[in-house]
Structure 1
Amino acid sequence: MKIAYTGLDLPQGKIKFNDEIFVGLVKKFQPKKVSPYYFEFFPDNYELADLIMINNECLLDLLILDIEKIEGRLTRTKDPFEKEVLEKSLVQLDDQKPICDLRWDDTEQAVIKALGLLSRTPTLVYEETSADITLICRDGMKKASMMFFYTVG
């Protein structure tokens, strides 16, 4: 999983996820080969990210990029449905909340997806600038609706 971050004290590069379930299975079954999961952390490159982690003081920098896209599209569109979706999105962004936290039906989702909004990517906002990397990875998995399946053989 690729994670873009801003305003947080996180290591850059690939980080092995220390999953206690995985470690427990390795101890129990002692396989010849193990393949741990790695998270890749990189600063600021939101376009390539599967997940965005950002400090609340930097959140507006991310949201402004989406606000500009939506306002530009609002001036050009004639479709009333698209305008409604864009205005709903703008209210969310004005409240300083990322687009990923809104629930959309399939037709609304298509409008939002076409815009390529950065905050549509699962986004976690942190008050603190430093945290335990294992907890950060767990939070990210939950936000991105990601889970592991383990096999032993």
Structure 2
Amino acid sequence: MRALIQRVSRASVTIAGETRGEIGRGFLVLLGVTEGDTLEDAQYLADKTVKLRVFTDENDKMNKALADVGGGILVVSQFTLYGDCRKGNRPSFIAAARPETAIPLYEAFIARCRQSGLAVETGEFGADMQVDLLNDGPVTLWMDSAEMRQK
């Protein structure tokens, strides 16, 4: 499971002209699922996400987490995080999990984030979405559960 996390001043997701999810300060999380991912991967990444300390403290050091700053999370499904661009000019997406595998894990990630007590908004799995954000910093982090567990 992969998460591209952007620290934002604001973010929203719109589907067919209707705003579905919107946050102020917090994280925009683009979330991808691959075959072989498990509930453990979803919970692991969610726990890491909500505890990330990338908001600045009074000494201008990245020491504060979402809960410390009253931040929220906007989670958007993003199968293209598993795009393979090594061959040719058209990415292959065969590493992305099929919806029957990906949807329950996407929902498990969201549920685990909500258990933290933070405000969590979402897009709609598989929908054509327009994402608007104001990246703060910019701060953008990449987490891959398979890579992180190997260390």
TM-score, with normalisation over the residues of structure 1? 0.25
Give the number of the structure whose residues are more often strand, by fraction.
Answer: 2
Higher relative contact order (CA 8 A, sep 6+): 2
TM-score, with normalisation over the residues of structure 2? 0.25
Give the number of the structure whose residues are more often helix, by fraction.
Answer: 1
Which protein is bigger by CA-based radius of gyration?
Answer: 1
